[in-house]
Amino acid sequence: MIPFHMLALRDMGLLLGEMFDFEDLAEDCAADGVYECMFVACPLNIPGGVGSPLNPIAVK
């Protein structure tokens, strides 16, 4: 069986986001009762790369 990350990253080209910290967003959502947002975290286009710095943003 192929490990998930090898299958997703190498074989499928799937972008994975891991280890995001959503605590502040969760607190803000609980405070105003709005639990919908647009979350965007675009990686750099690095051919053959398996990692990239991000500047994630959640817009409510």
24-40 b/e with 16+ CB inside 10 Å = b? eeeeebeeeeeeeeeee
Instruction: Give the predicted TM-score (pTM) of the model.
Output: 0.67
Nearest to 43 by CA among 7, 1, 5, 14: 14
Taking the domains of the chain in order of start, what are their residue ranges?
20-59
Residue 41: CB atoms within 10 A of its CB come to 13
Q: Is the pLDDT of residue 55 over 80?
A: yes
> Using one digit for the tens of pLDDT, what is the confidence trace for 1-47?
779 988 888 888 888 888 899 999 999 999 999 999 999 998 888 88
Question: Which residues, in sequence order, are bridge partners of residue 58?
Answer: 39
* 58: three-class secondary structure by DSSP: strand
